[in-house]
Amino acid sequence: MQAGRLLLRKAWSALLTIGFVLVLNFFLFRVLPGDPARAGIKDPRMTRAAQAAIHARFGLDKPVLNCLASLNPLRRGPCLVSPLQTQFFIYINNLLHGELGISFHTKIPVGELLRARLWNTAVLLSAGQTLAIVLGVAGGVLAAWQAHTRIDYAALLTSLVAWSMPTFWLGLILLFWGSRYAGLPIGGQLTPGLAGASTGAQLRDAARHLVLPTLAQTIIYLAEYLLIMRSTMLDVLAEDYILTAKAKGLSTFQVLKDHALRNAALPIITIVALNLGFTVAGAIQIEAVFSWPGLGQAIFESVARRDYPVLQGAFLLLAVSVIAANLLADLLYTWLDPRVHAAP
């Protein structure tokens, strides 16, 4: 009963946050200076008449809200227009009908574009995150168990170096190394023109494309997981019940698995859940280095082009992912640590 109420409270709070994000998303991008009709392109052929026609096509000729023609520059507009003829209410109305609009830049429906990009990002992230979690947790446990030995120092040093490396720099180093010495592809997710090849050949090609970006991502995230796991594990291993477990004659593996790991897992679960939420935005830098057509790249390009529909859709997706990941972390926490129930 108490768990049900907690769940309802969390879900309600998540919904409110999403509502707030919906409104913020609309105004956030319109506050930026610039004009989607020109999209940062300076060309004498782009006449004023053409810009006006594009504004009308994008619906930007309508006031942002009643009494407000535009946000940047801030201009007053007519107050007596029907709210349904303002950009804000058209946006809300479309969202309620499940329409995210058409990309100003590519003219592709935003839902379709985000779906494709999200899938690409998910493919990229799932391999990297899985490896990073498995290796990071295992490495952290090992380092803590062998605390203050050469193994621990080596793990600590490697993690700190990996964590300190700028992502794009590491990506570029891997790009040079991988293409020159390992013959690995460095751009995209499949070799163009392979559509007619067998499924096996396509899978092999996709796997080869994944190696370098996955490696980059694994190195960056592994360090974070390893350091947190090691630190939490060290705390847990100093507890009396670990001493008791050892005194009972349990094997090292049993002590670590059954007594230490489960108690040390809580912070890792939180970090993993939060990371998963945030990484939906796409590992922008990794995607940029390896020309990976993911969500991060889409957001980056859309900011430059003032592609409001894509930005609104992508930020909504990002917000929903982070909120959902938070909710998931909360629920997992509640399940793993019954003391959380007792919290008001």
Partner 1 sequence: MDIPSRLRLVFVCVLLGACTAAPTPQPLAVARIGYGGSPDTLNPGTAVLTEAYTMFALVYDSMYTYNLDGTYSLSLAESVDRSADGLSYTYKIRSGIKFHDGQPLTARDVAFTYNLNKAHAEYPYMNPYTAYMESITAPDDTTVLIRLNAAIPNIESQLVFQYVLPAHVWQAHADGAAAVEFENETLIGSGPFKLLEYKQGEFVRLGANKQHFSRPPKVDEVIFQTFSNPDALVQAISTGQVDMITELPNTAAEKLGQTQNVKVASAAPFAPAVSDIIFNQATSESCPSEAACNGNVALQDRQVRLALAHATNKQQLIDVVLLGKGTPGLTLIPNGLGMWFNDSLKDYEYDPAKANKILDDAGYLTYEGDIRCAAVDCVYGSPQMNFRMYWPSDSVDAPRMAELLAGMWQEIGVGLQPQAIDPDALTALCCPAFDFDIMLWGWGSDPDPNLLLNVMRTESIATGSSETGYSNARYDALYDQQVVELDQTKRKDLVWEMQRVVHEDVVYIIPYYDMQVQALRTDRFTGWIVDQPKLDLSDVSSLVNITPVK
Single out the residue of 6, 18, 28, 39 in contact with partner 1 (rule: CB under 8 A): 39
CA angle 26, 305, 303 (to 5 degrees): 55
**77 interacts with partner 1 by CB under 8 A:** no
Q: Which is nearer to partner 1, 83 or 188 (CB)?
A: 188
Single out the residue of 2, 4, 31, 48 in contact with partner 1 (rule: CB under 8 A): 48
**Rounded to an integer, what distance in angstroms lies between the CA atom of residue 311 and that of residue 103?**
9
**187 interacts with partner 1 by CB under 8 A:** yes
**137 interacts with partner 1 by CB under 8 A:** no
**83 interacts with partner 1 by CB under 8 A:** no
Q: Which is nearer to partner 1, 107 or 339 (CB)?
A: 107
Q: Which stretch binds partner 1 (CB under 8 A): 129-137, 176-184, 247-255, 331-339?
A: 176-184
Q: Which is nearer to partner 1, 14 or 311 (CB)?
A: 311
**249 interacts with partner 1 by CB under 8 A:** no
**238 interacts with partner 1 by CB under 8 A:** no
| Secondary structure string (H, E, C) spanning the chain | CHHHHHHHHHHHHHHHHHHHHHHHHHHHHHHCCCCCCCCCCCCCCCCHHHHHHHHHHHCCCCCCECCEEEECCEEECCCCCCHHHCHHHHHHHHHHCCCCCECCCCCCEHHHHHHHHHHHHHHHHHHHHHHHHHHHHHHHHHHHHCCCCHHHHHHHHHHHHHHHCCHHHHHHHHHHHHHHHCCCCCCCCCCCCCCCCCHHHHHHHHHHHHHHHHHHHHHHHHHHHHHHHHHHHHHHHCCHHHHHHHHCCCCHHHHHHHHHHHHHHHHHHHHHHHHHHHHCCCCHHHHHHCCCCCHHHHHHHHHHHCCHHHHHHHHHHHHHHHHHHHHHHHHHHHHHCCHHHHCC
- Per-residue binding string, partner 1, 89-118, x by CB under 8 A, is -------------x--xxxx----------
**293 interacts with partner 1 by CB under 8 A:** yes
Size of the site for partner 1 (CB under 8 A): 57
Single out the residue of 183, 249, 338, 344 in contact with partner 1 (rule: CB under 8 A): 183
**287 interacts with partner 1 by CB under 8 A:** yes
**44 interacts with partner 1 by CB under 8 A:** yes
**208 interacts with partner 1 by CB under 8 A:** no
HSE toward the beta carbon, residue 262, CA cutoff 13 A: 10
Single out the residue of 176, 201, 203, 207 in contact with partner 1 (rule: CB under 8 A): 176
**331 interacts with partner 1 by CB under 8 A:** no
Q: Which is nearer to partner 1, 46 or 332 (CB)?
A: 46
Residues that bind partner 1 (CB under 8 A): 32-35, 37-54, 56-57, 72-73, 102, 105-108, 172, 175-176, 179-180, 183, 185-189, 192-193, 195, 287-291, 293, 297-298, 301, 304-306
